Amino acid sequence: MTPAAYTATEGGALLVVAIVLPVIGMLAIFALGLRRAERIAYLVLPVGLLVALAIAADVARSGAAVTYVLGGWQPPLGIALRADGLSVTLMVLTAVVLCAVGLVARGSFSTPPDKAEARSPMVFWTLILGLWCALNTVFLSQDLFNLFVALELLTFSAVPLVCLDGRRETLQAALRYLLFALIGSVLYLMGAALLYGAYGTLDLAGLRLLARNDLATSVALGLMIAGLMAKAALFPLHLWLPPAHAGAPAAASAVLSALVVKAPFFIILRLWFDVAPQPANAMAAQMLAWLGIASILFCSVMALRQARLKLMIAYSTVAQLGYLFLMFPLVMASDAPTAWESVGWTGGVLQLVSHALAKASMFLAAGLIAEALGHDRIENLDGAMSVVPISVAAFGLAGLSLMGLPPSGGFVAKLMLLTAATETANWWIAAAILLGGILAASYVFRVLNRAMAAPASDFACKASIPLYRELTVLGLAICAVVLGFVPLQPFAFLGIGRVGLP
């Protein structure tokens, strides 16, 4: 019953680089106490993007997963890294979003020239790099305990970003975020302990071969998924997210909303499709979908009622995350030969990617608007269009994705999910997708209406925004739109490495 061995592939060492490179940058910033912390970050960011692209190219060229066995110790004793089509997609997405955020953050997190080292730049750049290491590890690692360590890396990098400004409300939000994240981690770890007790391995491929449909496995997976739900802010465990994501500086919010909450969801995908004994429990799938529906409807309505732009966007994040959880029953009921050839799976992944791009762009745009106007009250956004037109445009383009209007990645994603829902006669899910789109349109247009209005007579611009920052934000939004031109069918690329594990 020993699972097949992993064989390290040609370019496997690049996977190590993808994980370790950000760590090196982080340690360098921390140890050197340089005059300008951001310089090291600007060195690491493009190199990291190139590494991600190189791995993606390798996967695309060979049509197979890239694998590396750390230290040469075969799992389950050792740990393997493995990049399949899905993980490289997310790695490239991460690198792109982080590079864009890095560019935009230059305005807010540069070390003042008169100081050797300042708090917020040093903390911001080290933690962003820490996050990157955590995300790449989440996408690559094949070991459940290693994934736990990665999740902790993610938590420890993300929480201090929330309270970077040190205000009382953000401290409170950070503390609450930390507590939710810790509950999530410990539930996840408990599940891992049960799985180890039952199978003597925490290697994903090994578990896939061994998994039985018994109590221990169900409880373990249930605990792990529940813990990850708390980290991914699925209703009703979403309470921590809006204050945390709204309180963080815009650049950090963009990363938190676009990437950080996706990591636990990615692990749920791994558990559900790669570990759980198939066919998975239909009732659990329905429950996840119902919680997703509740997220979509409840938090969209909450988003409509917010007075602050950033809080509105944060609630919209919870709503959009809800769509991701719709895919479980859709994939199960589909008659495609494998999960990753079904429309629902592709739609879900596409929703993940397009939301990441759109939401990053939206938060960054909101940050620039707030910087220019000096506040982010939706009621008083009049005149934003005249000051930061490009940012408002980016906000609108990103909004297309959230609403699911063409042309946008969100449109294609939601259309695929909708198709899958009607094909499998999940009418409630179809209705929720449509209703969610209408609600999203209402909250996006509410902002755009105010922003396009003529400025009041006493209107004053607080700060001028350099063009490159606005263009970066627009670039992200355009990426989200361009995703709308992909063909409406399952992509072979996302299935690479998923057939015939490992």
Nearer to other proteins, 143 or 341 (CB): 143
Q: Is the CB of 67 or the CB of 295 nearer to other proteins?
A: 67
Q: Does 267 bind other proteins (CB under 8 A)?
A: no
**Sole window of 92-100, 120-128, 408-416, 460-468 interacting with other proteins (rule: CB under 8 A):** 120-128
Please tell me whether residue 341 adopts helix, strand or coil conformation: helix
* Binding track over 11-50 against other proteins, x by CB under 8 A: --x--x---x--xx-xx--xxxx-----------------
Q: How far is the CB of 288 from other proteins (least distance, A)?
A: 18
In whole angstroms, give the CA distance from residue 474 to residue 470: 6
Q: Does 236 bind other proteins (CB under 8 A)?
A: no
List the structure tokens of 113: 């020239």
Q: Choose, by CB under 8 A, the member of 47, 78, 441, 501 that binds other proteins.
A: 78
| Binding status of residue 69 toward other proteins by CB under 8 A | yes
| Neighbouring C-beta atoms of residue 167, cutoff 10 Å | 11
Tell me the closest approach of the beta carbon of residue 338 to other proteins, in angstroms.
Answer: 28
Interface mask (CB under 8 A) for other proteins, residues 134-173, using x and -?
---x-----x-xx-xxx-xx-xxx-xx--xx-xxxx-xx-
Which among 70-78, 277-285, 460-468, 480-488 is the span making contact with other proteins, rule CB under 8 A? 70-78
Residues 340-359 that bind other proteins (CB under 8 A): none
Of the two residues 166 and 500, which places its CB atom closer to other proteins in the complex?
A: 166
Q: Are 313 and 394 a contacting pair, CB within 8 Å?
A: no
**Angle CA 79–83–85, to nearest 5:** 150
Euclidean distance between CA atoms 362 and 374, whole angstroms: 17
Contact residue for other proteins among 108, 126, 142, 401 (CB under 8 A): 126
- Report how far residue 485's alpha carbon sits from residue 411's, in angstroms, rounded to the nearest whole number: 10
Neighbours of 31 (CB within 10 A): 8
Strand segments (E) across 112-264: none
Cα–Cα distance for residue pair 91/434, rounded to 1 Å: 30
For residue 396, give Cα distances in angstroms to 166, 314, 389: 31, 16, 11
Q: How far is the CB of 16 from other proteins (least distance, A)?
A: 5
Find the binder of other proteins among 77, 283, 425, 467 (CB under 8 A).
77
Q: CB-wise, 19 or 296, nearer to other proteins?
A: 19
Burial 468-501 (b: 16+ CB within 10 A, else e): ebbebbbebbbbbbebbeeeeebbebbbbbbeeb
Which lies closer to other proteins via its Cβ, residue 201 or residue 334?
Answer: 201
Minimum CB–partner distance for residue 10 and other proteins (Å) = 13
Which residue matches tokens 């490239």? 92
How many residues of this chain bind other proteins (CB under 8 A)?
A: 77
Contacts of 391 (CB under 8 A, 6+ apart): 365, 368, 369, 372, 384, 465, 470, 473, 474
Residue placing its CB nearer to other proteins in the complex, 77 or 425: 77
Site for other proteins in 171-230 (CB under 8 A): 171-172, 174-176, 178-179, 182-183, 185-186, 189-190, 193-194, 196-201, 215-216, 219, 223
Residue 306 touches other proteins, criterion: CB under 8 A: no
Does residue 230 contact residue 27 with C-beta atoms inside 8 Å? no
Candidate list 62, 117, 281, 459; residue touching other proteins; CB under 8 A? 117
Task: For the chain, give the number of residues.
Answer: 502
- Say which amino acid occupies 149: V
Where does this chain touch other proteins (CB under 8 A) — which range of 67-75, 367-375, 377-385, 452-460?
67-75
Cα separation of 298 and 239, whole Å? Answer: 12
As measured in angstroms, the least distance from the Cβ of 484 to other proteins is 37
Distance CA 275, CA 204 (A): 6
- Residue 382 sits in the site that holds other proteins (CB under 8 A): no
**107 forms part of the interface with other proteins (CB under 8 A):** no
Which CB atom, from 79 or from 269, has the smaller least distance to other proteins?
Answer: 79
- Report the distance separating Cα 400 and Cα 453, nearest Å: 20
Report the nearest approach of other proteins to the CB of residue 228 (Å).
Answer: 15
